[in-house]
Amino acid sequence: MSHGAWIILIGSLVASSCGFIGCFLILRKMSMLGDAISHAILPGIVLAFLISQSMDGIVMLVGATIVGLLTAFFIQTLHNSGVQSDAAIGVTFTALFSFGVVLVSLYTSQVHLDLQHVLYGEIAYAPWELVTLAGIEWPRAVWMMGGVFILTMLLVGLFYKEIKLASFDSQLAAALGVPVVLIHYLLMGLVSMNTVAAFESVGAILVVAMLVTPGATAYLLTDRLSRMLLLSIGFGTLASFGGYYTAVLWDVSISGSISCIALLLFVLAFFFSPREGLVSKWLSNKKLQKEHTIKA
């Protein structure tokens, strides 16, 4: 495969996997929690390196997942103690992200991380780091993001009914015996894993766009969860293709272009969605006004 094809594949895996798990954040009205986790995992990544002295992706994944779960726990604990939800999210993620920035600044000479890499990532370099597994040499980002995507779909498929019920009505789910708290932390763990797997390619800021935008676009087009999940994968893949060729055409950041194309798809759905689009609502109102005028 060409270098560009690998970039498109990595971008598609990032956008599709993050968009897939991001659908549940949107349904649970927890999109900002994804933002919080994407920033708060930074100290987990640095501490994982300092403890293990290894840049291995699995080590980073474990460290970030633990901190991601701790982030969800801290936010929930503060909220249960009377702190407003948005304030709990703001305090927790800014504190942990600041701690991570300090660690990166202190250990820049030892850790192959810098603040620009942390914030924006660099997907153009991702295909150059190759790893051989089962005799197949592919970019590490493909193995890592692909593995996390498959694991995410397996776990969501395995607990689909429980996750679906807990996402739409947590009180009913608890009454029916669904372990709502366990489902919550399962989802937060998957969000953390997807975030750190995508971290190297798109950074801490743009991964938020990958978590929220494909799912938000799909939400405007359907009221069925299964279709929403499939549409989010489709929009993520489309954003990767469009973003790559836009970046090549204008010589700009690839990950930034992918996010912009994902945003463009959301804007199109926002205006032209058959169910929720502004144009559809405007036409429907005009039709009702016309019918009312004729009857009058």
Q: Cα separation of 163 and 175, whole Å?
A: 14
**pLDDT above 70 for 164:** yes
Kindly report the CA angle at 28 between 157 and 24, in degrees rounded to 5?
30
Number of helices and strands (H, E) in the chain? 13, 2
DSSP designation for 108: T
pLDDT over 70, % of the chain: 92
Which residues lie below 8 Å from residue 20, measured CB to CB, with a gap of 6+? 149, 152, 153, 156, 215, 229, 232, 233, 236
What's the mean pLDDT when you consider all of the chain? 85
Torsion sign over Cα 161, 165, 167, 170: negative
DSSP-derived 3-state class of residue 138: strand
- pLDDT band at residue 149 under the 50/70/90 scheme: very high
Q: What is the pTM of this model?
A: 0.85
**pLDDT above 60 for 107:** yes
**pLDDT above 80 for 262:** yes
Q: Give the model confidence (pLDDT) of 180-236 as tens digits.
A: 989 988 998 898 888 878 876 677 667 888 889 999 999 999 989 999 999 999 999
- Give the residue with greater pLDDT, 273 vs 106: 273
- pLDDT band at residue 275 under the 50/70/90 scheme: confident
Q: Give the model confidence (pLDDT) of 227-244 as tens digits.
A: 999 999 999 999 999 999
| E strands, the chain, in order | 130-133, 136-139
pLDDT of residue 140: 84
> Poorest-confidence range of 55-59, 78-82, 147-151?
55-59
pLDDT of residue 110: 57
**pLDDT above 90 for 245:** yes
Question: What values do phi and psi take at 130, rounded to 5?
Answer: -95, 145
What's the length of the chain? 296
Q: Give the model confidence (pLDDT) of 45-76 as tens digits.
A: 888 878 877 766 677 778 878 888 888 888 88
Rg of the chain over all Cα atoms, to the nearest angstrom? 20
Residue with structure tokens 């947590």?
Answer: 170
- pLDDT band at residue 271 under the 50/70/90 scheme: very high
**pLDDT above 80 for 117:** no
Over range 141-156, report the average pLDDT: 92
Residue with structure tokens 């103690």?
Answer: 81
